Amino acid sequence: MTDQANLDTLPRLLRRNAATMAARPAIREKTRGIWQTFTWSAYQRQVHDFALGLAARGFGRGDKLAVVGDNRPRLYWAQLAAQCLGGVAVPIYQDAIAAEMAYVIDHAGVRVVVAEDQEQVDKILAVQDRLRELELIIYDDPRGIGRYAQPMLVAFDAVQAAGREFGASHSGYLEAEIDKGRADEVALFTYTSGTTGNPKGVMLSHANLLAASRGFVAAETIGPNDDILSYLPMAWIGESLFSLVLTLLVGFACNCPERPETVQRDLRELGPTVALAPPRVWENMLAQLRIRAADASPLKRRVFECFRALAERGESARSAGERLSPWLRLALLFGEILVYRPVRDQLGLRRARWAYTGGAPLGADTFRFFRAFGVNLKQVWGATELSGLATLQRDGEADADTVGVPMPGTEIKTDDRGEVLVRSAAVFQGYHRQPDATRAAIDAEGWFHTGDTGYIDPRGYLVIIDRSRDVGELADGTPFAPQFIENKLKFSPFIAEAVAFGDRRPFVAAMIAIDLGTVGNWAERHNLAYTSFQDLSAKPEIRRLIGAEIERCNTGLPAAARVRRFLLLNKEFDPDDNEITRTRKVRRRFIAEKYAAVVEAFYGGADAVELATEITYEDGRKTVLRSSVAIDEIALAAPPIPEPAYA
């Protein structure tokens, strides 16, 4: 059973890979500094043993299995094992607090949870009384769990051992279950980020996931020899698409880092050929590069800045379709030897043939920086409801202002209000237990209403402006798209998050959360002592530093859209406090309510505001942080400010 027509579910693709690529690497995990490799035949064995262990406990078609933890082979195997039996995998964000985890487990109707370690097990046990259908918790790492007496707790190894026993007495059971599987069966519940309320359970079938993956394969020359580092949250649809579905479809290996703290080191050691990251990762990489440049000797710093400027000049010329002068080509060749290649090596991108950014808009300046340094960074766009992908940029067509062209098999148009609509075989089956929301999202002709405002340019490239509900206008009628301004601000390595206000207001104001690492580094170099995030952000020197960054940002904005007033928050935005989602998207409606006093102060002319900010700890405890926070003005007539050396 290897013809294309029969490769219509993920378990059948696994069976194909184990038969045709048995000895090739399928997944690796770094343990105690050593990469452990599992071939496709070993991968299949692990999945089948676990699936049979689930079957021995009555798990079957339509049942739900959740996984929670960092990227681990066993969590991927557990998802596939559930799908082998006709079940549904439900990945959960590993940094979710117990209450958030309880919502997903209960809403999805999960029977089995596979948890990575004691931390995740403790969170589930803390809300056990709210989980009406949960019957079994399976743990991977036994450290700290040995003395737990809960009867529903069982080790991953024990489930696999029971599976081998069950398989010995039920010959052919699993193969028969895999053969029963249908392409239109739901394979995955992926919960949305929940920017406007509780997350929705997006039901994706095998056919949906494979349609998106096959469209990607038709557009890119990806093959079995490629590699990807799987470090992004397993609950994010982009991670599921690349590290689970595409690896099965194409046969390339996914690699799990040792710990979240070692991702950068493991990335550099592995040197994957495919890199996927949301904008915040690219922004952090750029911020760290700038800090390293600032910490370097004066000669090295001047060399870096010189070749950086040359690289960006060359990228601008290439983007405009202009020929590079012989002198510039020669300078870029020297830059490749002295700067660009060493930087790519430091970032772990020395072998990367493609690098993708998606999940949220990436600032144009950050995008151009990486492309200028020889990283083939390209933008992709999609949604959880579209199985992750709908458009991508082809090689040679990368553009900071668009998200590319529709993938093969995907139709895109905009309605009379500018909302982007998509129709393809990758469009989801519906929202779990929310039929009204499903009907509102997919019209009678099968078009999914994305909620994004955009347009298709004359070349056929899709341009995304902002979320439709966030696009507005200033009091004078000037269009106002807050994401555009926020992305400009976040190009500064000193700014971690920004929220812009201005809809129906006379001017733009912004709340800023500083980047503790880069601002702290700057403070240390300038002998500025501080004790905490709150203390650092309140210092006049830091307010002046951020004010200068905003002035620099303003020079690239239309006059009416320039930021006139700003405030430095006394804490970071935190998903636990519902200010941002687990994928770091701003929850604007919630922030507007939570920080209503700040907005009133911005437009009431106050020079300070009293903030009482609630903070939530991982165990659910809450406390209130109180402080008086200054509001600063920005001079609108400021002349262009040169790019700083961040020294």
DSSP state of 266: H
pLDDT at 5 over 70: no
Residue 358 contacts residue 379 (beta carbons within 8 Å): yes
Number of other residues whose CB lies within 10 A of the CB of residue 316? 12
Distances (CA, A) of 440 to 2, 307, 414, 546: 39, 51, 16, 42
Distances (CA, A) of 379 to 34, 279, 285, 473: 33, 10, 17, 27
State whether residue 41 is helix, strand or coil.
helix
Which of these ranges, 287-301, 374-388, 457-471, has the smallest mean pLDDT?
A: 287-301
pLDDT at 6 over 90: no
Q: What's the rounded mean pLDDT across residues 603-625?
A: 84
pLDDT at 27 over 60: yes
Confidence class of residue 4 from pLDDT cuts 50, 70 and 90? low
Number of other residues whose CB lies within 10 A of the CB of residue 105? 25
% of the chain residues with pLDDT over 90: 80
**Distance between CA 108 and CA 98 in Å, rounded?**
15
pLDDT of 581: 86
List the domain boundaries for the chain.
Answer: 4-220, 279-350+352-469, 471-633
**CATH domain 279-350+352-469 topology:** Rossmann fold (3.40.50)
CA 179 to centroid of chain Cα atoms: 34
**Distance between CA 116 and CA 38 in Å, rounded?**
19
**Residue type at 374 in one-letter notation:** G
Residue 141 has phi, psi (to 5 degrees) of -90, 115
pLDDT at 396 over 60: yes
Residue 314 has phi, psi (to 5 degrees) of -65, -40
- pTM exceeds 0.95: no
CATH class for the region spanning 471-633: alpha beta
* Of the candidates 403, 420, 337, the residue with the CA atom closest to the CA atom of residue 364: 403
pLDDT at 636 over 80: no
Number of other residues whose CB lies within 10 A of the CB of residue 637? 5
Confidence class of residue 101 from pLDDT cuts 50, 70 and 90? very high
Number of other residues whose CB lies within 10 A of the CB of residue 194? 18
* Of the candidates 354, 432, 366, the residue with the CA atom closest to the CA atom of residue 190: 432
Q: Residues 419-448: pLDDT tens digits?
A: 999 999 999 999 999 999 999 999 999 999
Distances (CA, A) of 377 to 22, 367, 486, 527: 32, 7, 21, 37
CA atoms within 13 A on the CB side of 280: 14
Tokens of 174: 């699993």
Q: Residues 554-564: pLDDT tens digits?
A: 998 888 899 99
**CATH domain 4-220 topology:** Rossmann fold (3.40.50)
Number of other residues whose CB lies within 10 A of the CB of residue 472? 15
Same fold yes or no, 4-220 and 471-633: no
pLDDT at 475 over 50: yes
pLDDT of 644: 53
**Distance between CA 246 and CA 476 in Å, rounded?**
49
Q: Roughly what angle, to the nearest 10 degrees, separates helices 40-56 and 156-169?
A: 80
DSSP letters, 335-398, are HIIIIIHHHHHHHT-SS-SEEEE-SS---HHHHHHHHHTT--EEEEE--GGGTT-SEEPPTT--
pLDDT of 243: 97
**Residue type at 13 in one-letter notation:** L
Residue 332 contacts residue 314 (beta carbons within 8 Å): yes
Q: Which strands sit side by side in the sheet containing 227-229, from one edge to the other? A: 34-39, 25-31, 253-256, 227-229, 274-277, 354-357, 377-381, 391-392, 405-406
Secondary-structure breakdown of the chain: helix, strand, coil percentages, each rounded to the nearest 5: 40, 20, 35
Dihedral sign, CA of 404, 405, 411, 415? Answer: positive
* Of the candidates 428, 439, 357, 367, the residue with the CA atom closest to the CA atom of residue 391: 357
pLDDT at 645 over 60: no
pLDDT of 589: 87
Q: Residues 227-276: pLDDT tens digits?
A: 999 999 999 999 999 999 999 999 999 999 999 999 999 999 999 999 99
Number of other residues whose CB lies within 10 A of the CB of residue 647? 12
pLDDT at 290 over 50: yes
**Distance between CA 266 and CA 264 in Å, rounded?**
6
**Residue type at 27 in one-letter notation:** I
pLDDT of 293: 86
Residue 606 contacts residue 631 (beta carbons within 8 Å): yes
Residue 424 contacts residue 409 (beta carbons within 8 Å): yes
Across the chain, mean pLDDT equals 93
pLDDT of 614: 80
Residue 78 contacts residue 114 (beta carbons within 8 Å): yes
Which of these ranges, 137-141, 290-294, 354-358, has the smallest mean pLDDT?
A: 290-294
